[in-house]
Amino acid sequence: MFSIYKKELRSYYCSPFAYVIAALFMLVFSISFISGLSNLEGYQYKFSFPNIFYNNFFYFIFLIPALTMRTFADERKSGTEVLLMTSPLNVFQIVIAKFLAVATVFLTMLVLTLFFPLLTAMTGGVIWSSLICGYAGFFFWGLVCIAIGMLMSSFTESPIIAAILSEGAMIILIFIDNFKNSGLFSNLPKVAQLIGAFSTEERFINFSQGLFGIADLIFFITATVLFVGLCIISIEKRRWSRG
Protein backbone atom coordinates (compact mmCIF):
# COMPACT_ATOMS: atom_id res chain seq x y z
CA MET A 1 0.00 0.00 0.00
CA PHE A 2 2.86 2.34 0.84
CA SER A 3 4.30 1.84 -2.65
CA ILE A 4 1.11 3.17 -4.28
CA TYR A 5 1.02 6.03 -1.76
CA LYS A 6 4.56 7.04 -2.76
CA LYS A 7 3.75 6.62 -6.46
CA GLU A 8 0.74 8.93 -6.13
CA LEU A 9 2.74 11.56 -4.24
CA ARG A 10 5.43 11.47 -6.92
CA SER A 11 2.79 11.95 -9.60
CA TYR A 12 1.79 15.19 -7.85
CA TYR A 13 5.14 16.57 -6.72
CA CYS A 14 7.31 15.47 -9.64
CA SER A 15 5.17 17.51 -11.99
CA PRO A 16 3.97 21.13 -11.87
CA PHE A 17 0.45 19.94 -11.10
CA ALA A 18 0.44 20.09 -7.29
CA TYR A 19 2.45 23.31 -7.28
CA VAL A 20 -0.02 25.05 -9.58
CA ILE A 21 -2.97 23.99 -7.41
CA ALA A 22 -1.13 25.07 -4.24
CA ALA A 23 -0.23 28.40 -5.83
CA LEU A 24 -3.86 29.04 -6.81
CA PHE A 25 -5.00 28.12 -3.31
CA MET A 26 -2.45 30.47 -1.73
CA LEU A 27 -3.49 33.22 -4.16
CA VAL A 28 -7.15 32.94 -3.13
CA PHE A 29 -6.15 32.75 0.52
CA SER A 30 -3.95 35.83 0.17
CA ILE A 31 -6.73 37.80 -1.51
CA SER A 32 -9.12 36.89 1.31
CA PHE A 33 -6.53 37.87 3.91
CA ILE A 34 -5.75 41.22 2.26
CA SER A 35 -9.45 41.90 1.75
CA GLY A 36 -10.02 41.36 5.47
CA LEU A 37 -7.24 43.81 6.31
CA SER A 38 -8.61 46.45 3.95
CA ASN A 39 -11.97 46.43 5.72
CA LEU A 40 -10.51 47.21 9.13
CA GLU A 41 -11.59 50.26 11.04
CA GLY A 42 -9.04 49.90 13.83
CA TYR A 43 -5.35 49.13 14.01
CA GLN A 44 -5.53 45.51 15.15
CA TYR A 45 -6.66 42.51 13.12
CA LYS A 46 -8.28 39.67 15.03
CA PHE A 47 -7.47 36.61 12.97
CA SER A 48 -10.63 34.61 13.73
CA PHE A 49 -10.80 32.92 10.30
CA PRO A 50 -14.56 32.21 9.85
CA ASN A 51 -15.02 34.32 6.73
CA ILE A 52 -11.61 33.54 5.27
CA PHE A 53 -12.04 29.78 5.61
CA TYR A 54 -15.60 29.81 4.35
CA ASN A 55 -14.81 31.97 1.34
CA ASN A 56 -11.79 29.85 0.51
CA PHE A 57 -13.78 26.66 0.62
CA PHE A 58 -16.24 28.05 -1.90
CA TYR A 59 -13.35 28.59 -4.31
CA PHE A 60 -11.57 25.45 -3.22
CA ILE A 61 -14.37 23.23 -4.55
CA PHE A 62 -13.00 24.15 -7.97
CA LEU A 63 -9.50 23.03 -6.93
CA ILE A 64 -10.25 19.76 -5.10
CA PRO A 65 -11.64 18.11 -8.28
CA ALA A 66 -8.34 18.96 -9.97
CA LEU A 67 -6.59 16.90 -7.31
CA THR A 68 -8.96 13.94 -7.44
CA MET A 69 -10.04 13.76 -11.09
CA ARG A 70 -7.03 11.65 -12.14
CA THR A 71 -7.04 9.18 -9.24
CA PHE A 72 -8.94 6.48 -11.14
CA ALA A 73 -10.13 8.08 -14.39
CA ASP A 74 -6.56 8.62 -15.56
CA GLU A 75 -5.62 5.02 -14.71
CA ARG A 76 -8.50 3.79 -16.87
CA LYS A 77 -7.75 6.21 -19.70
CA SER A 78 -4.04 5.35 -19.86
CA GLY A 79 -4.68 1.61 -19.57
CA THR A 80 -2.73 1.19 -16.32
CA GLU A 81 -5.88 0.21 -14.43
CA VAL A 82 -5.41 -3.43 -15.44
CA LEU A 83 -1.90 -3.48 -13.95
CA LEU A 84 -3.21 -1.81 -10.81
CA MET A 85 -6.06 -4.26 -10.37
CA THR A 86 -3.82 -7.30 -10.91
CA SER A 87 -1.32 -6.16 -8.28
CA PRO A 88 -1.00 -8.09 -5.00
CA LEU A 89 -2.91 -5.30 -3.23
CA ASN A 90 -6.66 -5.48 -2.77
CA VAL A 91 -9.06 -2.70 -3.77
CA PHE A 92 -9.34 -1.42 -0.20
CA GLN A 93 -5.59 -0.86 0.03
CA ILE A 94 -5.45 0.80 -3.40
CA VAL A 95 -8.26 3.25 -2.62
CA ILE A 96 -6.92 4.08 0.85
CA ALA A 97 -3.40 4.67 -0.53
CA LYS A 98 -4.72 7.07 -3.16
CA PHE A 99 -6.95 8.82 -0.62
CA LEU A 100 -4.06 9.32 1.79
CA ALA A 101 -1.88 10.70 -1.01
CA VAL A 102 -4.46 13.34 -1.99
CA ALA A 103 -5.10 14.12 1.70
CA THR A 104 -1.34 14.65 2.17
CA VAL A 105 -1.25 17.15 -0.69
CA PHE A 106 -4.27 18.93 0.80
CA LEU A 107 -2.67 19.01 4.25
CA THR A 108 0.53 20.44 2.78
CA MET A 109 -1.46 23.26 1.23
CA LEU A 110 -3.05 24.02 4.60
CA VAL A 111 0.35 24.05 6.31
CA LEU A 112 1.52 26.69 3.82
CA THR A 113 -1.30 29.00 4.93
CA LEU A 114 0.06 29.01 8.50
CA PHE A 115 2.19 31.92 7.32
CA PHE A 116 -0.84 34.21 7.65
CA PRO A 117 -1.81 33.51 11.28
CA LEU A 118 1.87 33.53 12.29
CA LEU A 119 2.29 36.93 10.66
CA THR A 120 -0.85 38.12 12.43
CA ALA A 121 0.40 36.80 15.77
CA MET A 122 3.55 38.93 15.42
CA THR A 123 1.68 42.13 14.59
CA GLY A 124 -1.79 41.72 16.08
CA GLY A 125 -4.05 39.33 17.93
CA VAL A 126 -4.95 35.74 17.16
CA ILE A 127 -8.07 34.00 18.48
CA TRP A 128 -6.38 30.63 18.93
CA SER A 129 -9.48 28.53 19.64
CA SER A 130 -11.15 29.78 16.45
CA LEU A 131 -7.93 29.37 14.48
CA ILE A 132 -7.29 25.75 15.55
CA CYS A 133 -10.91 24.68 15.20
CA GLY A 134 -11.17 26.52 11.88
CA TYR A 135 -8.22 24.58 10.50
CA ALA A 136 -9.63 21.32 11.86
CA GLY A 137 -13.07 21.94 10.37
CA PHE A 138 -11.59 23.00 7.03
CA PHE A 139 -9.40 19.89 6.92
CA PHE A 140 -12.20 17.45 7.72
CA TRP A 141 -14.54 19.21 5.29
CA GLY A 142 -11.83 18.86 2.66
CA LEU A 143 -11.50 15.13 3.36
CA VAL A 144 -15.20 14.66 2.64
CA CYS A 145 -14.80 16.44 -0.70
CA ILE A 146 -11.68 14.42 -1.55
CA ALA A 147 -13.65 11.21 -0.96
CA ILE A 148 -16.47 12.52 -3.19
CA GLY A 149 -13.98 13.46 -5.91
CA MET A 150 -12.40 10.01 -5.88
CA LEU A 151 -15.84 8.39 -6.08
CA MET A 152 -16.69 10.46 -9.15
CA SER A 153 -13.33 9.61 -10.70
CA SER A 154 -14.14 5.91 -10.33
CA PHE A 155 -17.24 6.32 -12.52
CA THR A 156 -15.56 7.51 -15.72
CA GLU A 157 -12.39 7.32 -17.77
CA SER A 158 -12.42 11.07 -18.48
CA PRO A 159 -10.70 13.23 -15.84
CA ILE A 160 -12.61 16.27 -17.11
CA ILE A 161 -15.98 14.59 -16.63
CA ALA A 162 -14.84 13.40 -13.20
CA ALA A 163 -13.96 17.00 -12.27
CA ILE A 164 -17.32 18.31 -13.47
CA LEU A 165 -19.23 15.62 -11.54
CA SER A 166 -17.17 16.35 -8.42
CA GLU A 167 -17.81 20.08 -8.61
CA GLY A 168 -21.54 19.48 -9.01
CA ALA A 169 -21.66 17.17 -6.00
CA MET A 170 -19.65 19.60 -3.85
CA ILE A 171 -21.82 22.55 -4.82
CA ILE A 172 -24.90 20.58 -3.76
CA LEU A 173 -23.14 19.74 -0.50
CA ILE A 174 -22.36 23.40 0.22
CA PHE A 175 -25.76 24.78 -0.72
CA ILE A 176 -27.85 22.10 0.95
CA ASP A 177 -28.77 24.65 3.65
CA ASN A 178 -30.19 27.00 1.02
CA PHE A 179 -32.16 24.09 -0.38
CA LYS A 180 -33.48 23.22 3.09
CA ASN A 181 -34.59 26.79 3.76
CA SER A 182 -36.25 27.27 0.38
CA GLY A 183 -39.99 27.79 0.04
CA LEU A 184 -40.32 24.24 -1.28
CA PHE A 185 -39.93 22.87 2.25
CA SER A 186 -41.46 25.74 4.22
CA ASN A 187 -44.50 23.59 5.01
CA LEU A 188 -42.51 20.40 5.50
CA PRO A 189 -40.41 20.99 8.65
CA LYS A 190 -39.66 17.29 9.14
CA VAL A 191 -38.27 16.97 5.63
CA ALA A 192 -36.28 20.19 6.05
CA GLN A 193 -34.86 18.87 9.30
CA LEU A 194 -33.87 15.61 7.61
CA ILE A 195 -32.11 17.48 4.81
CA GLY A 196 -30.40 19.73 7.37
CA ALA A 197 -28.92 16.65 9.03
CA PHE A 198 -26.63 16.32 6.01
CA SER A 199 -25.46 19.94 6.14
CA THR A 200 -21.68 20.29 6.15
CA GLU A 201 -21.84 24.09 6.21
CA GLU A 202 -23.60 24.22 9.58
CA ARG A 203 -21.03 21.93 11.14
CA PHE A 204 -18.14 23.87 9.70
CA ILE A 205 -19.57 27.10 11.11
CA ASN A 206 -19.44 25.49 14.57
CA PHE A 207 -15.74 24.73 14.05
CA SER A 208 -15.02 28.23 12.74
CA GLN A 209 -16.52 29.72 15.90
CA GLY A 210 -14.06 27.77 18.04
CA LEU A 211 -16.57 25.05 18.98
CA PHE A 212 -15.03 21.60 18.64
CA GLY A 213 -18.08 19.35 18.77
CA ILE A 214 -17.72 15.56 18.88
CA ALA A 215 -20.97 15.17 16.92
CA ASP A 216 -19.64 17.43 14.15
CA LEU A 217 -16.36 15.53 14.03
CA ILE A 218 -18.19 12.19 13.85
CA PHE A 219 -20.33 13.54 11.02
CA PHE A 220 -17.30 14.51 8.89
CA ILE A 221 -15.53 11.22 9.59
CA THR A 222 -18.66 9.20 8.86
CA ALA A 223 -19.28 11.08 5.58
CA THR A 224 -15.65 10.53 4.54
CA VAL A 225 -15.82 6.81 5.34
CA LEU A 226 -19.13 6.52 3.49
CA PHE A 227 -17.85 8.04 0.24
CA VAL A 228 -14.54 6.15 0.44
CA GLY A 229 -16.56 2.97 0.99
CA LEU A 230 -18.72 3.72 -2.07
CA CYS A 231 -15.55 4.30 -4.07
CA ILE A 232 -14.21 0.90 -2.99
CA ILE A 233 -17.50 -0.73 -4.01
CA SER A 234 -17.40 1.05 -7.38
CA ILE A 235 -13.84 -0.10 -8.11
CA GLU A 236 -14.53 -3.62 -6.79
CA LYS A 237 -17.57 -3.90 -9.04
CA ARG A 238 -15.52 -2.86 -12.05
CA ARG A 239 -12.80 -5.32 -11.08
CA TRP A 240 -15.24 -8.22 -10.99
CA SER A 241 -16.88 -7.14 -14.25
CA ARG A 242 -13.49 -7.54 -15.91
CA GLY A 243 -13.35 -11.08 -14.61
| pTM, full prediction | 0.87
Q: In 14-165, which ranges are E strands?
A: 46-47, 125-126
Q: In 54-182, which ranges are E strands?
A: 125-126
> What's the pLDDT band for 96 if we cut at 50, 70, 90?
very high
Spatial separation of the C-alpha atoms in residues 58 and 131, rounded to whole Å: 18
Q: Judge whether residue 12 has pLDDT over 90.
A: no
Q: What angle do CA 153, 103, 180 make, to 5 degrees?
A: 70
> What's the pLDDT band for 43 if we cut at 50, 70, 90?
very low
Lowest mean per-residue pLDDT among 13-17, 63-67, 172-176, 232-236: 172-176
Task: Give residue 146's pLDDT.
Answer: 94
Spatial separation of the C-alpha atoms in residues 192 and 181, rounded to whole Å: 7
Domain extent for 127:
2-241
Q: At what angle do helices 200-208 and 128-153 cross, to 10 degrees?
A: 150
Burial-class residue 184 by CB neighbours within 10 Å (0-12, 13-18, 19+). Answer: exposed
How many CB atoms neighbour CB 59 within 10 A? Answer: 15
- The whole-number average pLDDT for the span 149-156 is 92
Closest by CA to 215, choosing from 231, 227, 228, 197, is 197
- The whole-number average pLDDT for the span 177-205 is 69
Length of the chain counted residue by residue:
243
Percent of the chain with pLDDT over 90: 21
Question: How many folded domains does the chain comprise?
Answer: 1
Percent of the chain with pLDDT over 70: 81
- The whole-number average pLDDT for the span 18-45 is 72
| Position with higher pLDDT, 29 vs 224 | 224
